[in-house]
Amino acid sequence: MSDLGYIVLAFGLVWGAVALYLLRLAALRRELARRVERLEKAGGAR
């Protein structure tokens, strides 16, 4: 592989990993916000 190939591989992995982590965080925050809302509603109902 040429130097450019290695550079593209490295940059692709760095950006890909950061993008995946951001997507995972966004999904986690959505799920947690839903759980908080559900628990608060259940608490209020009692």
Chain residues in the site for other proteins (CB under 8 A): 1, 3-4, 6-7, 9-11, 13-14, 17-18, 21-22, 25-26, 28-29, 32-33, 35-36, 39-40, 42-43, 46
Residue among 20, 40, 39 at smallest CA distance from 28:
20
Give Cα separations from 15 to 8, 18, 26, 30, 36 (angstroms): 10, 5, 17, 23, 31
CB of residue 21 to other proteins, shortest distance in Å: 6
State the minimum distance, in angstroms, from the CB of residue 15 to other proteins.
9
Query: Which residue type occupies 24?
Result: R
Closest approach of other proteins to the CB of residue 37, in Å: 10
